[in-house]
Amino acid sequence: MHAQADQTRYARLAKISQAINSNLDLNAVLDSVAAAISEEIVLCDSVGIYLPQPDGTFRGYIGKPNNINGVTLDQLIVDPKVDSLAADIIRTRKSIYIPDTSLDRRPDPRPIEMFKIHSLLGLPISYGEELFGLVFLFNYGMSMNLSESAIQTVEAYVNMAGVAIHNMHQFNAIQSLLREKQLLLDVTRELSLCSTTEKILDTCFRYVGQVLNNKNIGVHLCDSIGSTFRPARLSNHSDWTEEEWRKTHKHIKLNYDKDLLFQEVIQTKKYVLIPDIDADPRPNHEACHQFGIKGVFMLPLVATAEVLGTIAVVSLGEVRTYSEVDMQLAQSIIDVTAAALSNAIRMEQLELIINDRTEELRENHRILELILNSAGEGIYGLNLDGRITFCNPAAARMLGLTVNELIGQKHEHILQPPDMQSGASAASIFDVFDGDSVIFMQEDLFYTADGLMFPVEYVLTPIVEDNKIRGGVVTFRDISERKSTEEIIRKTDKLSVIGELAAGVAHEIRNPLTTLRGFIQLLHTSPHTKRENLDIMLSELDRINFIVSELLFIAKPQCITFHQKDLTLILENVIQLLHAQANMNNVEIQMEMTGEIPHITCAESQLKQAFINIVKNAIESMEDGGQLFIQVNVKDELVVIRFKDSGCGVAKDRIPKLGEPFYTTKEKGIGLGLMVTFQIIKHHHGRIHIESAEGAGTTVQIELPIVLPEDYVEHLPYTYSTL
């Protein structure tokens, strides 16, 4: 009898095992467990398997029979808070048998009453620490009379259910893990193909929407550190259009810093689920009502420990919850999104910066090119090998080449005539640089590609980087024109002075000649002329001789030599030369010396010319007559000569123009007098200073060193142009 009972038990266990192994349907397994129990315990009127609910209670799931007195099993709920028996089973994870419920107060009295339960066996469905459910066996009215071994048999069946559920959970967990993994892989792959933040967000919305089965998803982003959040994008499938959404946000003006929900998500970097906003103080209720939001699930977008933004999944009009697994999966998708998004944002920002910089560089380059191209001066760059690295069109034109031909040429081809080119490196030109000084050549010769030379003035500026010379830039100017102008000026000046002087000189000569003529006529009529008359004639002849030789002295081109000369004498000669002109203009010239005036080192003819120009200007400024004071005195190592006229003077704004070539206010003036004077004084290491006011006369003050440096004469350039 026992053996047979054992046989059937084994058969039942085998059946349950088979149900467990062959199919993973929880229903089928639990059904076979319930069947096995009810077959085993014949006296039992009801077997019920109860599974846990989210609220902590256990609900009837499968049992025999399924309907007890019109109450279906799924209507039966065991609440461990009320039912101490259930609570004990859960706590101890052990089965408890109550042979007589009237003697035990633990079971919930309501079902005991309702079903007249007399005896009751409760078992936990568990595996290890995990509790999967409860099983209750009872009968109505009388005891089940369960033996120890019967209870153990039932426990064996129930344990199998525990194993089965555990396996199934394991399997489901693995399955869903695999599914999640696959999903995350898909998201990651898809995100990696997205090139813009919009595409990344749309992909995220699609996957999160799928997992949570909700298409109302929007994102609020904080673009850069320190900046504030803004509504950035809404899912295309949302019940709202993005435009409406933005408009409403504009109207609401969320204060992210004060919004409790946003702040909690941002601060904790964890998602927050609010199934019903009306039952929660955190969300901005007014904003939620504007959007028609009933529930909100907000998740943080975190990349490298920074919150880029938040994603809000909202339910419109209904309370909604999501399973923990789904919420976590949604967060995982968003985590992957955040990484991609942060990269994309950084890339987009970099791209913006690069575009800006490129535009800036392009603009700078354009300006530089414009400057180079429009410069009238030739500009070219040299590397340390003495090769030309860049040039402007003016340089190429002056050197008789195109820009492209000039680049790469050797510098020495420009500096030396073709037959003298040694082939030696021109790099040595940079050796002369001391620090970052600049070389200025006032006059040199450059050679065109055809070997024609032309005079230039150039500046060589080193290009210094990290305290090292990397090359140089040459800026040059063709001075042929300037040189010929200078030549013209020099000649013109001589001619003009002589021309101007001629009238005066003629007058000057005519006077003594008239005197002579008178005396000779006298001689003619009276042969006994007096000796004093002859003396007068001689002195008149001397005067003519002086004037003519003086005129020749100034007119004749002569080589400039510096000698010790009496300055007083020079000034007296000048006054004498211009005497007639002064007379004609009714100008009185007075000279005043203070102290002993030493001889000075000078080029006499030049100095005379300079003084003539000044005195002439003074006379010309006093058309209606006046006075010219010439004061000479010595101060330290200098002789100071002041020409003070009472003429028309010079307007204040015109004073800087004095000495500019061809600046004149006179009808017959050329405008070179002062320029030549300035050059001559400079040539003598002297200084000139003009003080004038309109209508108040002019004072020209000249300071000349008494002694010039020893070697000065030797190194003296011989034309004005080199001054």
Ligand X SMILES: Nc1ncnc2c1ncn2[C@@H]1O[C@H](COP(=O)(O)OP(=O)(O)OP(=O)(O)O)[C@@H](O)[C@H]1O
Site residues, ligand X (CB under 6 A):
496, 613, 617-618, 621, 645, 647-650, 658, 663-666, 669-675, 698
Do the bridges between strand 626-635 and strand 587-594 make them parallel or antiparallel, or are there none, so unpaired?
Answer: parallel
User: DSSP per residue over 366-378, as a string?
Assistant: HHHHHHHHH-SSE
Task: Choose the contact partner of 331 out of Mg ion, ligand X, none; CB within 5 to 8 A by kind.
Answer: none
Task: Choose the contact partner of 133 out of Mg ion, ligand X, none; CB within 5 to 8 A by kind.
Answer: none
- Coil, strand or helix: which one is 559? coil
CB of 631 to ligand X, least distance (A): 15
Torsion angle defined by CA atoms of residues 631, 636, 639 and 645, in that order, rounded to the nearest 10 degrees: -30
Q: Please state, in angstroms and as integers, the Cα–Cα distance from residue 56 to each residue in 74, 92, 272, 438, 623, following that order.
A: 16, 17, 22, 91, 124
Helices (runs of H) and strands (runs of E) counted in the chain: 19, 25
- How many residues of this chain bind Mg ion (CB under 5 A)? 2
d(CA 324, CA 273): 10
If one asks whether residue 609 binds Mg ion (CB under 5 A), the answer comes out as no
> Structure tokens of 159?
């344990």
CB of 412 to ligand X, least distance (A): 43
141: alpha, beta or left? (left if phi > 0; alpha if psi -120 to 50): left
Q: Which residue is nearest to Mg ion (CB)?
A: 673
CB of 690 to Mg ion, least distance (A): 13
* Closest CA relative to residue 221, chosen from 331, 319, 344, 135: 344
Task: Choose the contact partner of 386 out of Mg ion, ligand X, none; CB within 5 to 8 A by kind.
Answer: none
Our CB check for Mg ion shows the closer of 197 and 617 to be: 617
Task: Choose the contact partner of 396 out of Mg ion, ligand X, none; CB within 5 to 8 A by kind.
Answer: none
Task: Choose the contact partner of 108 out of ligand X, Mg ion, none; CB within 5 to 8 A by kind.
Answer: none
Task: Choose the contact partner of 666 out of ligand X, Mg ion, none; CB within 5 to 8 A by kind.
Answer: ligand X
Task: Choose the contact partner of 671 out of ligand X, Mg ion, none; CB within 5 to 8 A by kind.
Answer: ligand X
Do the bridges between strand 306-316 and strand 293-303 make them parallel or antiparallel, or are there none, so unpaired?
Answer: antiparallel
If one asks whether residue 119 binds Mg ion (CB under 5 A), the answer comes out as no
Task: Choose the contact partner of 551 out of Mg ion, ligand X, none; CB within 5 to 8 A by kind.
Answer: none
Residue showing tokens 């620490």 = 129
If one asks whether residue 621 binds Mg ion (CB under 5 A), the answer comes out as no
Our CB check for ligand X shows the closer of 429 and 676 to be: 676
Our CB check for ligand X shows the closer of 378 and 673 to be: 673
Give the contacts of 456 (CB within 8 A, at least 6 positions apart).
441, 443, 444, 445, 446, 476, 477, 478, 479
CB of 700 to ligand X, least distance (A): 7
Our CB check for Mg ion shows the closer of 609 and 617 to be: 617
Task: Choose the contact partner of 539 out of Mg ion, ligand X, none; CB within 5 to 8 A by kind.
Answer: none
d(CA 509, CA 552): 14
Our CB check for ligand X shows the closer of 275 and 671 to be: 671
Our CB check for Mg ion shows the closer of 455 and 669 to be: 669
If one asks whether residue 386 binds Mg ion (CB under 5 A), the answer comes out as no
Task: Choose the contact partner of 151 out of Mg ion, ligand X, none; CB within 5 to 8 A by kind.
Answer: none
- Coil, strand or helix: which one is 71? strand
Our CB check for ligand X shows the closer of 309 and 673 to be: 673
Our CB check for ligand X shows the closer of 320 and 644 to be: 644
- Interacting positions 664-693 with Mg ion (CB under 5 A): 673
CB 96 within 8 A of CB 121: yes
If one asks whether residue 512 binds Mg ion (CB under 5 A), the answer comes out as no
Our CB check for ligand X shows the closer of 204 and 658 to be: 658
Stretch that binds Mg ion, among 17-25, 121-129, 301-309, 612-620 (CB under 5 A): 612-620
Q: Which residue is nearest to ligand X (CB)?
A: 673
d(CA 77, CA 55): 11
Task: Choose the contact partner of 97 out of Mg ion, ligand X, none; CB within 5 to 8 A by kind.
Answer: none
Residue showing tokens 């990290």 = 466
* Closest CA relative to residue 552, chosen from 490, 502, 484, 487: 502
CB of 719 to ligand X, least distance (A): 19
Partners of 645 in the beta sheet? 628
CB 697 within 8 A of CB 644: yes
Stretch that binds Mg ion, among 64-72, 613-621, 630-638, 679-687 (CB under 5 A): 613-621
One residue of 617, 646, 679, 721 binding Mg ion per CB under 5 A? 617
Give the contacts of 552 (CB within 8 A, at least 6 positions apart).
none
CB of 560 to Mg ion, least distance (A): 22
Binding mask 308-327 for Mg ion (x = CB under 5 A): --------------------
Our CB check for ligand X shows the closer of 153 and 609 to be: 609
CA dihedral sign of residues 168, 170, 173, 177: negative
Do the bridges between strand 71-72 and strand 67-68 make them parallel or antiparallel, or are there none, so unpaired?
Answer: antiparallel
Binding site for Mg ion (CB under 5 A): 617, 673
